Amino acid sequence: MPGGPTEIIRNLRALLEDIARDSGYDRSFTWPGADTPTQLRKVMHLMGTCGLVVREGRPMRLGLTEAARHFLATGDELYLIGVLHANVRFIGEALAGVGEGKTHVELNKVAVEQYGLGWESLDQVRRRVYWLRAAGLVEFWSNGRIVLTERGRQFLPFLESAKPEDLPHRRKGSATDLELPAPTALLAVGLEGLDQVALRERKIPTGYVAGGWRVEGISRLVNAAVPEIDRDGFTAFCVEEFGVSESSAEQTLQTLRALGFLTQVGADAFAASDLGASCLASGEALDLIRLLHMKVALVGVGLIRFDGHS
């Protein structure tokens, strides 16, 4: 969302009101005060899944969630933060993490060490602090510290935050102590059909993927194709999200198609495959790893070797 703390809620409202008037996806949108329009498709990619907008149908249309409609009707900024907290990681946790005052660097350390978020820059923390500042929950002082306001202190008990000790990166014990979630029905069928012939025919992971072969990055790429995306939209998403070239974005598209994460659904349109979509629906990172194991050689072997040297 463009703008600083005094502008982002206004800009969000303008975007939601525009979608309420016109549900079209492949069109332009102009931010308040901007001189030139931007593609709404790019805006939606950058927003991700935040609990305010839904994508549906083919060709794709946009719609507002009940939460978005309530926010437009009431202008309740605290309600908005609650919605973001329920759908975006490290919103309420950031508010709680401020404590008696922290810098952006210190708050990022909380995100990485306590909540297992692999953020290598301060950008993600700054974005979240902007929203908290916009809602009047924190202030940014001239000494570089983020400080809770009285409003923030009163609002904090209403947010149910994740407990660091319950998160996967903080769990102790051996692999045999863990109870793994069952795979999706589609994945279970695919895994059961993995005989020695199928295992030998899997691809060696030589293709390029924007963001690397990280589960989180692959999940974001597959999610961008729900319900579908055209070639230009996918290219724009890769360039904006991962800072790669257009040729690298094209290579990523071809790799994900070859691995069965994406499938072609039109002359120049692509969507998450049934298996890829089932992994996203389950919300389990392990299901993406299972799908990788089905399609890519050495994934399971690598995990076994890693476990043996841990």
281 pLDDT tier (thresholds 50, 70, 90): low
pLDDT, position 304 = 38
Our measurement of the distance from residue 158's CA atom to the centroid of its chain's CA atoms, rounded to an integer in Å, reads 24
Secondary structure of residue 305 in the 3-state scheme: helix
> CA-to-CA distance for 225 and 217, rounded, in angstroms?
13
Secondary structure of residue 63 in the 3-state scheme: strand
Q: How many CB atoms lie within 10 A of CB 116?
A: 14
Contacts 24+ apart (CB under 8 A), 236-239: 236/39, 236/41, 236/42, 236/45, 237/42, 237/45, 238/210
The single-letter DSSP state of residue 32 is: T
Q: In what order do the strands lie in the sheet with 262-264?
A: 229-230, 269-272, 262-264
Q: How far is CA 280 from CA 165, 185, 287, 288, 303, in A?
A: 25, 13, 8, 8, 22
305 pLDDT tier (thresholds 50, 70, 90): very low
State mean pLDDT over 252-279. Answer: 86
**Alpha helices, H only, the chain:** 8-21, 40-47, 66-74, 77-87, 92-98, 104-113, 123-134, 150-155, 185-192, 196-200, 215-223, 231-242, 246-258, 274-282, 285-295, 299-308
Our measurement of the distance from residue 249's CA atom to the centroid of its chain's CA atoms, rounded to an integer in Å, reads 18
Average pLDDT over the chain, rounded to whole?
Answer: 83
Question: Peptide bond preceding 2: is omega within 30 degrees of 0, i.e. cis?
Answer: no
pLDDT digits (tens, 9 = 90+) for 43-61: 887 777 789 998 777 677 8
pTM: 0.62
Domain positions in the chain: 8-72, 76-165, 185-308
State mean pLDDT over 112-126. Answer: 87
**138-142, 203-207, 240-244: which has the highest mean pLDDT?**
138-142
The single-letter DSSP state of residue 269 is: E
Task: Please name the helix (run of DSSP H) or strand (run of DSSP E) that holds residue 55, with its range, or none.
Answer: strand 53-56
pLDDT, position 212 = 82
- CATH ID of 185-308, from 3.40.720, 3.40.50, 1.10.10, 1.20.950: 1.10.10
Instruction: Report the CATH architecture of 76-165.
Output: Orthogonal Bundle (1.10)
State mean pLDDT over 91-108. Answer: 96
> CA-to-CA distance for 306 and 300, rounded, in angstroms?
10
> CA-to-CA distance for 288 and 260, rounded, in angstroms?
11
